[in-house]
Amino acid sequence: MAKNSSSKAHSAAEENVIPEIAEQETEFLEVYGARVHNLKNIDVKIPRNKLVVITGISGSGKSSLAFDTIYAEGQRRYMESMSSYARQFVGDFERPDVDKITGLSPVISIEQKTVNKNPRSTVGTITEIYDFMRLLYARTAEAYSYESGEKMVRYTEDQIFDHVKENFKDEKIALLAPLVRGRKGHYRELFEQVRKQGYLKVRVDGEIKELKEKMQVDRYSIHDIELIVDRVEVNEKSHDRLKKSLQLSLKLGKGLVMIMIADEPKKVYNFSKQLMDPASGISYEEPSPNTFSFNSPYGACPHCKGLGFVYEVKKEVIIPDESKSINDGGILPLGEVRDNFVYQQIRSLAAKYKFTLATPVKKIPREALNMILYGSKEEKVDIAMNFDEEENFNYYTTFEGIIPMIYRWYRDTSSDNLRKWAEEFMESITCPECHGTRLKKESLFFKLDEKNIAELAEMSIAELQLWFDDIETRLNEKQIQIGKEVLKEIRARIGFLMDVGLEYLTLNRPSRSLSGGESQRIRLATQIGSQLVGITYILDEPSIGLHQRDNQRLIHALRELTEVGNSVLVVEHDKEIMLSADHILDLGPGAGEHGGSVVTEIDPEQMNGNSTAPEPAEELRAQMLRRAKHDRTHSTTIDYLTGKREIAIPKERRKGNREFLELKGCTGRNLRNLNVQFPLGKLICITGVSGSGKSSLITETLYPILNKHFFSSRKKALPYKSVDGLKHLDKVIEIDQSPIGRTPRSNPATYISVFTDIRDLFAQLPESKIRGYKQGRFSFNVKGGRCEECQGGGMKLIEMNFLPDVYVECEKCMGKRYNRETLEVRYKGKSISDVLEMTVDEAVTFFEPLPKIYRKIKTMQDVGLGYIRLGQQATTLSGGEAQRVKLSTELSKKDTGKTFYILDEPTTGLHFEDIRVLMEVLNKLVDRGNTVLIIEHNMDVIKLADHIIDLGPEGGNGGGSIVAQGTPEEVAKNERSYTGKFLKAELK
């Protein structure tokens, strides 16, 4: 039940009229007087322990109700339940602008945010599957030698003694304790230490040497050093001495001992209390879960420190054009010529090797160029330092070299800016030591059923499920007994990931490479696995990135949460999920100031009663309206759900300009040597189930190729053989849903470059000229006209211990960004701050007489953003809104009709009506002769395409091929295509 109230805040007296409900008894979550953002003092009654969908067009107030009201209040109540001591560390949470919320259980929010930007975080670590696998391997895996491949063995002290006593009878042997194994160093201190302890000889790299004062070895070579603890003839009289010497050797060798026959110093026998390969003498420490952790020094590859990749400085990046001289920027890191220490060294090298800084790089002597790039190593160079006429001197020193210098700055600097600068000249490559597995080689030679843990991490979730399903048949009884409980946990978590349609992911997939939808479904799977009850879950479009084929699995996963006693609130636009919900709450009717009301509430399950036959659209709509608990305003959502309104299919498909962009031999990730033709001048859709290779083909192969060709981008494309047809294009533009800015300073007006024109206008006003105000006076980024308390931000950053930082309104300027004097300058009665507070719709009318400003703002209105404010903080814009701001920028530019646009799931966060508006905009771009390529799952978009390229047939290793291509009608006829099956229904 919902009510829209036109009154302002309820008074205290009115609040007392609201019936008190014992929250633990209520069947509803009830919100009274919600006024957050654009919510119009609404009351809503949401059934608990049900699947409830909150829908409405973009900007209608869905997130304001779900996240900024219900979740914010749940979080605040949780903080209030803490002790006063704990609260001092996290601060107070502001109460959302709502009169009362009853029936609210503990709240967990699962939003569309990438899980973790940390390069060490993977799917395996965030789902805890890898953690359980580490435990399984530590307790049940068998160790093998990385030298011989043989199974490792371990001995007890008594076993070693008995073996020596029986096999070396009457032999004169030496007992050696290994002190250094395969490490560099001069070891002067070690030799001195054991000499002072009374020992006489050591074995260094296979040669026996007497210990002497100041003894050392070459510090740059790798050494094996063993201490000769005792020499003894093995017989009955020497057993006691042998046993004591053996104990001492094991102690000094940390569980290792070597037996050497006196007459054969090159031949030794290795024994260990640890895991050991008797043939080669190598030994492993006892395995623990950390042995298999790439986040622990006990398991991480020492070369890449567990990252799986290393940065390598590339010569071709440092010297992109060898025809340029150093003076002309031929060696990029050197920058422009100046009198600093590095340039003084370069000039000295130029004098020595007889070239000048004006010499093209390709003509610099090779020896000199190598020295500039890689340094002089140990060789000292005569450096002439010339500061002025009175201060000149020469001295001999080594030259570090540009490349070692970049490595040093990257490794040692505490400055993020300097590290980013160094990264510009580097390329990420797979670690040559661990080959991307992240683990040290010892960890990779512990195996279960002939597979190491890294091989399991490379499997898709679906393959992993098959491998673990019958693992007991391949283990011995001891392994089964030890691993029983761990296997149960692993299988359960794999099952949850399968349930939410993520069977194509691998455990070693970095979490920062996941889409927002994938991240959200992983967290959903984790919550299902936690088996919590009595929770209110709030999800933001969990269907993002999910193919229609997998929708039912997602719905089943959501149902699992409600069946055990949880409430699930989903902000969603997917038709199938809406019609599977227990309750729909439709907000609107418009966006921004025109939204924030409850349009209608629907119980879809009541629509058809027990009938399985679908109702005619008109009759179904009539039933919806009759059963709606509240329908004060006409519902666009109902129109689309019932088919009363729909996004029209074009009568004919575009023919394009008859030219093609052809990409051949794509083999990155799971792509199977693809050859793809992209017809130009058309609206192209790339489709396929999740993980089929869409992003690999477009975002990671095609876009980097085009970006490098047109803009000299350094981002490397995934492997491919060739590309043809670039001559038919003049630029590429990727329009994604990333924020247009990450601080409150960024806003739509600055992004579309209209704010510069507005500041010019204010600077030309008579009042500005009298006061001497220039354009800069009206900028909130420079001193002069801005409020210095918040430095023009309008908001102040408050650091929260243990929680994300928050922004609060500046108390001095009250969020207006400017000082009093600046705000006194007005155009048509409006100050610069008033203009920034205008909605786009208001600004279009206000600036209509000024074509330069009007044209840019009008394009934002054309893409359906009439409700947002010109100065609205970029941090408050949704992904879909940010993407449309970028689209409006492109629409306002003049183009040649040869632009290639790329969009990845532009319908994220968009209602049916928003999609209609978006597609009108994209079609305008194509009508100008441009090519628009969209990666998409939404059938309302796919059915409008001129050309579809459907990848699959499955995700992960089962994908990477072209299943179908052509017009929607042609793809719909392909029985192998999952997309085609759903498209067939749409085209009827």
Percent of the chain predicted with pLDDT > 70: 91
Residues of the chain with CATH 1.10.8.280: 309-430
pLDDT of residue 197: 92
**Structure confidence at residue 114 as a pLDDT band (50, 70, 90):** low
Q: What is the pLDDT of residue 59?
A: 82
Phi/psi for 203 (5° steps) reads: -115, 115
Question: Looking at residue 622, what is its pLDDT?
Answer: 57
- Chain segment 539-580, per-residue pLDDT in tens: 998 888 888 888 888 999 999 999 999 999 999 999 889 988
For residues 546 and 506, give the distance between their C-alpha atoms in angstroms, rounded to a whole number. Answer: 17
In three-state secondary structure terms, 519 is helix
Higher pLDDT, 698 or 94: 698
User: Is the confidence at residue 14, as pLDDT, over 50?
Assistant: no
Class of domain 2-113+532-642: alpha beta
The per-residue pLDDT for range 18-61, each reduced to its tens digit, is 344 344 457 899 999 999 988 999 999 999 999 999 999 888 99
Is residue 387 scored above 60 in pLDDT? no
Regarding the domain delimited by 744-873, which CATH topology (the fold level of the hierarchy) does it fall under? ABC transporter ATPase like fold (1.20.1580)
Q: Name the segment(s) of the chain with CATH classification 1.20.1580.10.
A: 744-873
Say yes or no to pLDDT of 10 above 70: no
Residue 252 near residue 229, CB atoms below 8 Å: yes
Give mean pLDDT, residues 832-840.
94
Rounded mean pLDDT of 100-108?
95
Our separate counts of H helices and E strands in the chain read: 36, 35
CATH architecture assigned to 309-430: Orthogonal Bundle (1.10)
Residue 391 scores a pLDDT above 90: no
The pLDDT value recorded for residue 601 is 87
**Dist. CA 584–CA 56, nearest whole Å:** 10
What is the C-alpha to C-alpha distance for residues 524 and 546, in angstroms, rounded to an integer?
A: 14
Residue ranges of the chain assigned to CATH 3.40.50.300? 2-113+532-642, 650-739+877-988
Q: What is the pLDDT of residue 101?
A: 96
Q: What is the pLDDT of residue 37?
A: 86
> Region 95-101: what's the mean pLDDT?
94
Listing DSSP states for 827-845 in one string gives BTTB-HHHHHHSBHHHHHH
CA pseudo-torsion sign 361, 366, 371, 374: positive
Q: What is the mean pLDDT of residues 835-853?
A: 94
Tokens encoding 659: 């030219």
Residues 965 and 971: beta-carbon distance below 8 Å:
yes
Full DSSP string of 121-137? -BHHHHHSHHHHHHHHH
Q: What mean pLDDT comes out for the span 319-347?
A: 83
pLDDT at 874: 85
The pLDDT of residue 515 = 76
Q: pLDDT category, 179, cuts 50, 70, 90? A: very high
Q: Please report, as a single letter, which amino acid is at residue 615.
A: E
What pLDDT does 629 receive?
A: 47
Quote the mean pLDDT of the chain.
87
Q: Is the pLDDT of residue 6 over 60?
A: no
Q: Is the pLDDT of residue 276 over 50?
A: yes
Mean pLDDT of 738-760: 88
How far, in Å, CA of 141 to CA of 362, rounded?
Answer: 56
**Domain at 144-286, CATH homologous superfamily:** Ribosomal protein L1/L10, rRNA-binding domain (3.30.190.20)
Residue 3 is predicted with a pLDDT of 55
Q: Give the pLDDT of residue 18.
A: 38
Vertex 431: Cα angle to 430 and 436 (nearest 5): 70
What digits encode the pLDDT tens for the residues 197-241?
999 999 999 889 999 998 999 988 889 999 999 999 999 889 999
What's the distance, CA 891 to chain centroid?
29
Longest dimension (CA), the chain: 114
Contacts of 435 (CB under 8 A, 6+ apart): none
Locate CATH 3.30.190.20 in the chain.
Answer: 144-286
pLDDT: is 705 or 626 the higher one?
A: 705
| Euclidean distance between CA atoms 218 and 187, whole angstroms | 9
The DSSP H or E segment spanning 822 is helix 820-823
Q: State the pLDDT confidence band at 89, using cuts at 50, 70 and 90.
A: low
* Residue-wise pLDDT tens digits, 470-490: 999 999 999 999 999 999 999
Fold of 650-739+877-988: Rossmann fold (3.40.50)
Q: Name the DSSP letter for residue 68.
A: I
The vertex-738 CA angle with 707 and 907, nearest 5°, equals 100
Q: Is the peptide bond before 849 cis (omega within 30 degrees of 0)?
A: no
421 pLDDT higher than 70 = yes
Higher pLDDT, 55 or 603: 55
Per-residue model confidence (pLDDT) at position 585 = 94
pLDDT band at 90 (very low <50, low <70, confident <90, very high): low
pLDDT of the residue at 15: 40
Nearest Cα neighbor of 458 from 432, 436, 442, 483 is: 436
How does residue 587 score in pLDDT terms, banded at 50, 70 and 90?
Answer: very high
Are 465 and 494 in contact by the 8 Å Cβ rule? The answer is yes
pLDDT higher than threshold 60 for residue 616: no
pLDDT at 5 over 50: no
Asked whether residue 607 carries a pLDDT value surpassing 70, the answer given is no
More confident of the two residues 950 and 985: 950
Residue 606: per-residue pLDDT = 54
Task: Name the pLDDT band for 623 (thresholds 50, 70, 90).
Answer: low
pLDDT given for residue 16 in this prediction? 39
pLDDT, average across residues 342-354 = 85
DSSP reduced 3-state for 8: coil
Q: Where are the alpha helices (DSSP H) in 261-319?
A: 315-318
How much of the chain, in percent, has pLDDT values that exceed 90?
Answer: 55
Q: Give the Cα separation of 872 and 593 in Å (integer).
A: 13
Q: Which residues contact 815 (CB under 8 A, 6 or more apart)?
A: 794, 795, 809
- For residue 762, the one-letter residue type is F
Which residue, among 267, 259, 208, 253, has the nearest Cα to 233 in the 3D structure? 259
pLDDT confidence tier of residue 831, bands split at 50, 70 and 90: very high
